[in-house]
Chain A
């Protein structure tokens, strides 16, 4: 290991240094480009997490209103938004979680909200009506059924995800 054998000439030294520095610079320029190109793949699924809403044993065949909160992220600003759901079991015993947002203009609907239309969802704003399964009653302002929440049941607890138009959920 004498110093003579490993003599590095001035030219070689400059070559190595420039290659090294140049390599770093190229990497610095290229890697954001690659990152941008791949960005859509790396992006997390935008859908929000499932939120615990109710105990399955509390759910009856009569729709009940459950309030919960979801975390909403708007760029850097994170906030909690209140949500509600009308939850019940249908004839087959399946859980149905309906969004209370009227598909007409976005008011909140009530179960049995009007005396003359029992067992229907009623929107107090423009007197829209929905059947128990969320289907809009013809000749009332709403033109689409109430949205349904995606749901899952884990250990006796009901978790709700996103509300989607009928047919998608």
Chain B
């Protein structure tokens, strides 16, 4: 489910089934803007695709956006606590930003795919989508 009025309605109907929060983390920088834009695009693409396949159990939140100078760990921690209190047992952060990607994140490296051909792009993207999906399934089976 997405963070839209329509899907939030659906969420209220099926609250007990939706136990996973998916949060894309997007860095912004005033230098090297293009690289950050690529990361943003890539992270959002991957998380959207994961949401499409796991619609019934995952709520895709609006991205957690931060400046590269910021300390992100504290905010991630805060978001995790709040979301867990709100009933999301599994909280999952996805990022393409290598500098912050520790164990609390699922890291999906953004490749400079601008000039790659369409087929290769799709293949890489699909692999990463599967990687995120596998990580989620692993979380689910661990708890049950």
Residue positions of A touching B, CB distance < 8 A: 82, 102, 104-108, 123-126, 141
Contact = CB atoms under 8 A, between A and B. Distances in A.
Nearest to A103: B56
A166 B49 CA distance: 27
5 contacts: A106-B55, A124-B54, A125-B54, A125-B56, A141-B17
B52 A108 contact: yes
A105 B52 contact: no
Given A105-B57, A107-B57, A125 B17 contact: yes
A123 B14 CA distance: 16
B56 A126 contact: yes
B137 interface: yes
B54 A126 contact: no
A60 B55 CA distance: 29
A123 B54 CA distance: 9
A123 to B, nearest CB: 8
Nearest to B54: A107
Contacts of B133: 124
B4 interface: no
B36 to A, nearest CB: 25
Nearest to A84: B53
B55 A105 contact: yes
Contacts of A105: 10, 14, 17-18, 55-57
